[in-house]
Amino acid sequence: MKKIKKAAALAVAAALTASNVMIFSTSAEKGPLKAAAVPDVETVVAGDVVTVAINITENPGVVSWHYYLKYDADAFSLNGTPKGETLSQTYDAGGESATATSVLSFGPTTANPLSFSWSDPLFTDYYNTGKVATFKFKAKDDIQPGTYQFELITKDPEDFFDFDYTDIATVCTPGEVVVTQAVTGLKVSPASIDFAKVGDTETITATVEPEDATNKKVTFKSDDESIATVDETGKVTAVAEGTTSITVKTVDGGFTKTVNVAVAHTHAKNETVAAVDPTCQKEGNIEYFKCKCGQLFKDEACTQATTLEEVTLAKTAHNFVEKVDSQYLVSAATCTNKAVYKKSCSMCGEAGTDTFEYGEVDKTNHVGETEIKDAKEATCEADGYTGDTYCKACGDKIADGQIIPRKQHIPSNDWQYDETDHWKVCTLGCGTIMDKAAHSGGTATCTKKAVCEVCGQEYGDVDKTNHGKTKTVGYVAATAETDGYSGDLVCVECGDVIKAGSVIPKHAHEWTKVEAADPSCTEDGHKEYYVCEVCLAVSADAEGTKIYADENEALADLTVPALGHDLVANDGAAPSCTEPGLAAHYDCSRCHKHFIDVGVDPENPSYTEVTEEELIIPALGHDCGEEWFYDTENHWQNCARCEQNVNVEAHIFGEWVENPQEDGSIVRERTCSKCGFHETETIPAPTESDSEADSTSDSETESKGGEESSKPSEGSKGGNPATGAASAFAVVTAVALGAMFITKRRK
């Protein structure tokens, strides 16, 4: 019976049915199969998720097993779907190595305990160990603190057997988690500590909330231990005067509170301020003493506190006298008053508030208001006068007035007129008539008089022969059977018949098609129409069903209005130093012409057509300023706009300027006329061998009978014998020594 049960279990595992129970396979050896439920955390709080792993720790070799995981459903709920770990084993398949993978199956997730099983698809003993399944559980919101187990159990020993159908003993180790009561808050007492002196102590009491919290540990930390220290029990000790704070923090949750600590200050003399007698300019003071905290004291022991006001002695009174000096002048003498001065202190010179008069009045110094007398306004008929200026204070005339030339007539803005003339009247009141002339311009029509182009008024008579807009009345189109009538030409304004119509002989119309023309941005187009080759009548169609009476009717029906420009904004492009730019403008998408807005009102733009050449903004050119940069070979300028080096060219040097040195060498210098760069060369002093070479050269020259003695040396050509000698010497030195020592420097 046992073998039948086991064989049935193997058959179910081999078929991998969709049952809620899955089977794992191994092969048998002696010893128990050991498994353990292992949570991933030791402690949790409400809402936490615990992952429980099922680990095979010792495997004697099995073909099938079936476990149950029991948990406290009042405290935890299954979170998600259990996960099976893939188990595989290598086997010999006809001399080659192959791998078989088993599948873990789970029972209903609503059951407690949860069931899961496994079997080996090869029906061979399986020896591997490790994690075979994981379950996730969530701690419920109302979970109570305590220790909870995830118990791995077996219900039927026959669920564990090896390939030989031998039962395998099992050892299961449960997993445990501890549910703690989290800390939710912290209170401290006292909220602050004030120490009277250094060395005083006080203990901070920390209360962790809630009362049944699992971990009530707190830490204490001083922000400045040079002022006050605190130990692990919360005992605070004053170390030095000043202020600091103690931070209390819960280990669980990290809740913090701060207790402010102040250590009182002990006053002591830090400075003695000597007594100072007051003057009329400065306050004095009695002797007093300062503590380093800034507090003032009357006694040296710093027991009688005082203030700056109490130790200050008021200034002495000024001795004000009458002294004439420009610095005390209040007001200078005028045409009616003497000069006024402030009295001043005879000791310190400070000006007082009391004043005194001095000297005589000044008839030339008029102050205050003035008035104008005998003024007369200029008119169109007589000169005017600005009037004389008089001092109101003394009544003297200060200045004479000036003649105001008579005014020119100022014509009115509006024209005056009658039936024949128009004119303007002077607006200054003289009544003079100006610019009088007969009405002119304008054209009379059959219904209206002419309008003067100067004053805008009608004048003259209507012109019965000058008709404006006309229309055709009584038009009848001719047909092949009946005559037509061209219609009478009638003035639209006065209704007179300008020209009588005529009979159009009957005929068959011979219509010629005129193709439609599309409108452009500025030109009207028209629909297609037809013209009779016989009578020149115009029809809207080839059948002549709609023949127009006259040109006005045809134009009104056939005209397609101009489209207008379809303007697209073009932002243009800014010019660079070397490349031209393009001004912002508008391009018409239809006719491709260019326009700019010359209006001042954004709501009512005014577009003007421009050419592409007119839109081009010239290149800016380089902005180099006056500064030159250089190296030993070239100089150049740097453009402030594009930051490029421009105007690069070789130095333009002047003549060498030579300066003989005490050691016999020659230092010569030349300067670039454009950038100011200085180039310096040093010609070494001649050696003894150089002198002998010069002597030999001189002897050879003299032996030629003096023929060349009158010729200048190559080095002296150009008129400067010193420069020529130096150049010749440089050549000799180069031959003798092999090189010339030259140094160059930059100024």
Confidence of residue 27 (pLDDT cuts 50, 70, 90): very low
Nearest alpha carbon to residue 127 among 27, 208, 218, 57: 27
Smallest Cα–Cα separation from 520: which of 560, 568, 569?
A: 560
State the average pLDDT for the chain: 83
Q: What's the confidence (pLDDT) of residue 747?
A: 30
Give how many domains the chain has, as a whole number. 9
- Burial category of 183 from C-beta neighbours within 10 Å (exposed 0-12, middle 13-18, buried 19 and up): buried
Q: Is 110 in the same domain as 169?
A: yes
Do residues 291 and 435 both lie within one domain?
Answer: no
User: Per-residue pLDDT for 209 more than 90?
Assistant: yes
pLDDT bracket for residue 736 (50, 70, 90): very low
Task: Among 90-94, 412-416, 574-578, name the one with the lowest average pLDDT.
Answer: 90-94
The per-residue DSSP string of 422-456 comes to: EEEEBTTTT--EEEEEE-------SSS-EE-TTT-
pLDDT over 70 at 280, yes or no: yes
For residue 13, give the 3-state DSSP assignment. helix
- 48 and 169 in a single domain? The answer is yes
CA–CA distance, 421 with 449 (Å, rounded to integer): 15
pLDDT band at 722 (very low <50, low <70, confident <90, very high): very low
Whether 365 is covered by a domain: the verdict is no
- Cβ contact 389:383 at 8 Å: no
Helix (H/G/I), strand (E/B), else coil: 404: strand
Whether the Cβ atoms of residue 151 and residue 173 lie closer than 8 Å to each other: no
According to the model, what pLDDT value does residue 699 have? 41
Which stretch of 79-88, 213-222, 283-292, 465-474 has the lowest confidence by average pLDDT? 79-88
- Domain annotation covers residue 399: yes
Structure tokens at 613: 């050449």
Instruction: Kindly state the percentage of the chain with pLDDT values over 70.
Output: 83
Same domain, residue pair 33 and 85: yes
Least confident of 29-38, 362-371, 397-406, 539-548: 29-38
Query: What pLDDT, on a 0 to 100 scale, did the predictor assign at position 181?
Result: 85
Q: What's 75's domain CATH number?
A: 2.60.40.680
Say how many C-beta atoms besides its own lie within 10 A of residue 350's C-beta. Answer: 12
Residue 677 sits in the same domain as residue 713? yes
Span 609-619, mean pLDDT? Answer: 92
| Lookup: tokens for 405 | 């030339």
Domain that holds residue 667: 657-737
- 8 Å CB contact between 263 and 243: yes
Is residue 364 included in any domain, yes or no? no
Residue 619 has pLDDT above 50, yes or no: yes
Residue 464 lies in a domain: no
In this predicted structure, the answer to whether residue 714 has a pLDDT above a threshold of 60 is no
Judgement on whether residues 383 and 476 belong to the same structural domain of the protein: no
Are residues 165 and 119 located together in one domain of the fold? yes
Task: Give the pair of three-digit tokens for residue 710.
Answer: 């009158």
Tell whether 10 and 156 lie within a shared domain.
Answer: yes
The pLDDT tens digits of the residues spanning 499-549 come to 998 888 988 898 999 999 999 998 999 999 999 998 888 999 988 888 988
- State whether residue 305 is helix, strand or coil: strand
Is the pLDDT at 690 greater than 50? The verdict is yes
Between 707 and 123, the higher pLDDT residue:
123
Looking at the fold, whether 153 and 54 belong to one and the same domain comes out as yes
Please identify which residue in the block is written with the tokens 């104008």: 372
Compute CA 527 distance to the chain's CA centroid, rounded to the nearest angstrom.
57
Instruction: Tell me: do 391 and 283 sit in the same domain.
Output: no
- Residue 34 β-bridge partners: 58, 171
Residue with tokens 């189109």: 477
Average pLDDT over residues 215-229: 95
Asked whether residue 644 is assigned to any structural domain, the reply reads no
Q: Is 87 exposed, middle or buried (0-12, 13-18, 19+ CB in 10 A)?
A: buried
Q: Is residue 238 part of a domain?
A: yes
**Percentage of residues in the chain with pLDDT exceeding 90?**
50
The neighbouring-strand residues paired with 171 are 34
Considering only 117-131, 423-437, 602-616, 719-733, which range has the smallest mean pLDDT? 719-733
**8 Å CB contact between 466 and 443:** yes
3-state secondary structure of 98: strand
The answer on pLDDT for 386 being more than 60 is yes
Q: Tell me if 629 is assigned to some domain.
A: no
Q: Return d(Cα 315, Cα 282) in angstroms, integer.
A: 6
Contact in structure between 269 and 289 (CB atoms under 8 Å): yes
Q: What count of other Cβ atoms lies within 10 Å of the Cβ of residue 210?
A: 11
**Cβ atoms of residues 728 and 715 within 8 Å:** yes
pLDDT at 457: 94
What is the pLDDT at residue 373?
92
Interval 465-486 mean pLDDT: 86
* Same domain? 487 vs 374: no
- What pLDDT score does 8 carry? 44
pLDDT at 165 over 70: no
Residues 71 and 167 grouped into a single domain: yes
Within-domain flag for 580: yes
Structure tokens at 461: 């008579």
The pLDDT value recorded for residue 343 is: 95
Structure tokens at 116: 């899961």
